[in-house]
Amino acid sequence: MKKLVYFEWKRIWMGKLIKLSLIGCCVFIVFCFYSSIAQISATDLNGAVHSGLQGAAVLKETRPEQVLDERRVKEIISEYLDYTAHPETSSDQEKFQYLTEEMYLKYYVPNRDLLTLISSVYTPLGENYSLKESFEAGMNTDFYSARKERVKEWLQMKERRGLLKGIEKEYWLEEDAGVPTYVYGYYKGWEDILNSSSWLILIMIVICIGTAPVFAGEYQTKSDSLLLSLKYGKNKLIKAKLTASLLYATLVYCGIVLSYSLAYLLILGAEGGDLPLQLINTYPISYNLTIKQAVILFLLLMYAAVLLMVCVTLFMSSVFKSSYTVIIVDFLLIVIPSFLYFSMGGYLWQHILALFPSKITEFKYDDYITYSMGGFVLEHLTTLIISYAVLCVLFMGAAYQKFRMHEVNR
């Protein structure tokens, strides 16, 4: 069996198209990786702007780790409001957040993400408060009580629009109760891994190109009848083809994704992995996860999506007589959903669209997409992993049976 798997493994890598597409994919991702590093921009405490690796170093300096308990939040609010009240540091210009231009550059810009995070908690849904207005409203309001109100408002808005059921809203309110006290700090390396999710589309296409000829190639060369007439042609050989395809997909995915992920952590630093996931967005997030846990789960989710596309490809390869037909259909299955938007429909549309493998690139921990039946509720992440696992088994089994049982004399 091992020899058969190794033989099929080598056959996958023999194609010129897969070699060219893999090289092209790697070159494109290297370019995107370099661009993402070069585009990092940060302002230091003197108001000077830095970019690239120097910008990342400035972000580390201006984002010291701190616990955002109630006392610390009120200190930050008081500090800002004091600046807006003092004649030497305040102005009447909203574009400078009611600070002088100098204070805006030296205080607000370096701390913008932290100030915006706090401000978002004190700004009711649908309101457009300035930083000063939200902080004035927050002076006499408990930070985490206000956060719970924002979560309720967000869930109620989705329920009114028909995007969330009552039982699903209650599920998220219970989950949100487990969100811990915020710890703020630097997490740029982990953030950029999450932001690179769109690269999955290209990785999927490359992997599908490699697996498309696994069965269809035998039809094209008229060797299917010979293979199926061999002693192990209807069992071990087919299993070897399936196994080699999964190993190929795993190697390509892990090789590319782990390479750029580790590169981000080595270059930008692995700090911040233990910070709460809620820091990555001003929208409410009710998952009780650290940023590191969220990144690992997301990478596993992308891997599951890749495996599903491989299994679909293998099934189509066992059905169609041309590997190019398989590649074209794969391309359409991957690309077309990318042009479909969640806002184009209601509850059913969003929940079906969210299951497509290529829509994983748009997965967000703040989307609150939930699947329920009766009294049973599953959030988006768990639903995807379970459904992908089941579909992988079904498509693999279908591919096995289709190639094994097809009539070779036609």
How does pLDDT run across 290-344, given as a tens digit for each residue?
Answer: 999 999 999 999 999 999 999 999 999 988 888 899 999 999 999 999 899 888 8
For residue 300, CA distances in Å to 16, 31, 63, 282 come to: 29, 24, 29, 25
Q: Are 329 and 315 in contact (CB under 8 A)?
A: no
Q: What is the mean pLDDT of the chain?
A: 90
What is the residue extent of each domain of the chain? Answer: 2-38+186-405, 66-163
Distance CA 316, CA 329 (A): 9
Please, which pLDDT band fits residue 224 given cuts at 50, 70 and 90?
Answer: low
Please state the rounded mean pLDDT for residues 390-397.
Answer: 95
Please state the rounded mean pLDDT for residues 219-223.
Answer: 68
For tokens 């269809």, name the residue: 216
Please, which pLDDT band fits residue 407 given cuts at 50, 70 and 90?
Answer: low
The candidate with the shortest Cα–Cα distance to 285, out of 117, 73, 62, is 117
Question: Does pLDDT of 236 surpass 90?
Answer: no
End-to-end CA distance of the chain: 29
Angle at 226 (CA atoms; ends 225, 229), nearest 5 degrees: 85
How does pLDDT run across 47-98, given as a tens digit for each residue?
Answer: 899 999 999 999 999 999 999 999 999 999 999 999 999 998 999 898 999 9
Write down the pLDDT at residue 196.
Answer: 92
pTM here is 0.92
Question: Does pLDDT of 27 surpass 80?
Answer: yes
Write down the pLDDT at residue 223.
Answer: 66
% of the chain exceeding 70 in pLDDT: 94
